[in-house]
Copies of this chain bind each other. A is one copy, B any other.
Amino acid sequence: METRNTIQKQTILMAVKELANHPTAEQVYEKVVEKLPNISRATVYRNLSSMADRGLLHRIGVPGGADHYDHTLETHYHVLCTECGALEDIWLQESQADLLKLANEKSSFSIQNYQLVFHGMCPCCKAKADALNQLH
Contacts and interface: CB of A to CB of B under 8 A. Distances in A.
Interface of A is mostly: mixed
A126 interface: yes
A83 B114 CA distance: 15
Contacts of A91: 106
Q: How many copies does the complex hold?
A: 2
Interface of A: 61-64, 67, 77, 79, 81-82, 88, 90-92, 94, 99-100, 102-103, 106-123, 126
Given A111-B119, A116-B116, 15 more contacts: A62-B63, A77-B103, A79-B111, A82-B112, A92-B106, A107-B120, A109-B118, A109-B121, A109-B126, A110-B123, A112-B121, A113-B119, A114-B117, A115-B117, A115-B119
